[in-house]
Amino acid sequence: MANLAIASALSSKQDLIVEDKLNHASLIDAARLSDADFKRYNHNDLEHLALRLQQAGEYRRRLIMTDGVFSMDGDCADLPGLSQLAEQQDAWLMVDDAHGFGVLGRRGAGLLEQQSMTQQQVPVFMATLGKSAGCYGAFVAGSEELIETLIQSARSYIYTTATPPALAAATIKSLEIIEKESWRREKLAELIAYFRQQMATLDFELMPSNTAIQPIVIGDNHRALALSEALLQQDILVTAIRPPTVPVGTARLRVTLSAEHEMAQIDRLVAALQSLSADCSMG
């Protein structure tokens, strides 16, 4: 609903929204439900985006929308590159940092902090509160004009009940923890590095991700599902992600690490995967 608020309040019939092909469904649907025209560019492909924007000279306004951390791949958007392009082409840049907020950057402010981006470079910032904050809802941050525009004209914000006070209070507490307890981010970074290092010895394909989302590419839908079920039998919860959520032929196990995990649990996961891959190759 926050993404829909942004797309519909900032664009109308004479405008264009351009999105990364691997954006989260809520960004894709936000563009579809707005009055703007909608185009997509290949994943993290700045040249393709530049082409899309050049072809779109006749539009009054162009809005680029991207995931910060891509939710099914775990890789990140190139914000310096995107913001430079947006500036050259006189377009606006919006980032959905659902998986970066609270987790990336020294203070947990997210991908913008990690990539040293300013509000001028990324004028529209959105993040959710249901992931690292362990709560519910979302927020948009930006200039006073942006926020006032949303308050005055974002229909999915205006015509619905406000966040319940209890959730607001819980969110404030979460924000305190996010800001103060940087050891959680440090521990998570160690777990991520350890997982990748341990997996390097096995015959599985990881994706180029430095974030808590660590997909293992399996390819075949049935094999991905069978591996996920076998892991669950050993009390390890790793979901299988299949098309249409990801492209055909790239079914994967989506390992999601958190600061609550311990090294020993990663050892257990890696050992389980090792014995399952040995089972599979035998028959």
Under the criterion CB under 6 A, does residue 67 sit at the interface with ligand PLP?
yes
Q: Which stretch, 8-16, 96-104, 169-177, 182-190, contacts ligand PLP (CB under 6 A)?
A: 96-104
Residue 237 three-state SS: coil
Restricting to residues 228-247, which ones interact with ligand PLP according to CB under 6 A? none
Under the criterion CB under 6 A, does residue 209 sit at the interface with ligand PLP?
no
Q: Which stretch, 76-84, 91-99, 180-188, 275-283, contacts ligand PLP (CB under 6 A)?
A: 91-99
Among 75, 86, 96, 132, binds ligand PLP (CB under 6 A): 96
* Closest alpha carbon to 84 in 34, 46, 110: 46
On whether the CB atoms of residues 72 and 41 are closer than 8 A, the answer is no
Under the criterion CB under 6 A, does residue 211 sit at the interface with ligand PLP?
no
Under the criterion CB under 6 A, does residue 73 sit at the interface with ligand PLP?
no
Angstrom distances, CA of residue 270 to CA of 153, 198, 237:
50, 7, 13
Euclidean distance between the first and the last CA atom of the chain, given in angstroms as a whole number: 47
On whether the CB atoms of residues 255 and 238 are closer than 8 A, the answer is yes
Residue window 129-168: x/- pattern of binding to ligand PLP, with contact defined by CB under 6 A: -x--------------------------------------
Under the criterion CB under 6 A, does residue 15 sit at the interface with ligand PLP?
no
Q: Which of 99, 156, 187, 228 is catalytic?
A: 99
Cis upstream peptide for 244 (omega within 30°)? yes
Q: Which of 8, 71, 132, 228 is catalytic?
A: 71
CA distance 227 to 185: 29
To the query of whether residue 131 is one of the catalytic residues in this protein, the response is yes
Handedness of CA 8, 11, 12, 15 (dihedral sign): negative
Residue 94 Cβ, how far from ligand PLP at the closest point, in Å?
A: 12
Under the criterion CB under 6 A, does residue 128 sit at the interface with ligand PLP?
yes
Q: C-alpha angle 86/88/93, rounded to 5°?
A: 10
Indicate the residue among 15 and 96 with the shorter CB distance to ligand PLP. 96
To the query of whether residue 99 is one of the catalytic residues in this protein, the response is yes
On whether the CB atoms of residues 27 and 78 are closer than 8 A, the answer is no
* Closest alpha carbon to 133 in 173, 185, 191: 173
Please count the residues of this chain forming the interface with ligand PLP, following the rule CB under 6 A. 9
CA distance 155 to 145: 17
Neighbouring C-beta atoms of residue 46, cutoff 10 Å: 14
Which residues are bridge partners to 65 per DSSP? 19, 94
Under the criterion CB under 6 A, does residue 75 sit at the interface with ligand PLP?
no
CA distance 142 to 228: 40
Residue 103 Cβ, how far from ligand PLP at the closest point, in Å?
A: 12
Indicate the residue among 71 and 214 with the shorter CB distance to ligand PLP. 71
Q: Which stretch, 31-39, 48-56, 94-102, 163-171, contacts ligand PLP (CB under 6 A)?
A: 94-102
Residue 123 Cβ, how far from ligand PLP at the closest point, in Å?
A: 18
Residues in touch with ligand PLP (CB under 6 A): 24, 26, 67, 71, 96, 98-99, 128, 130
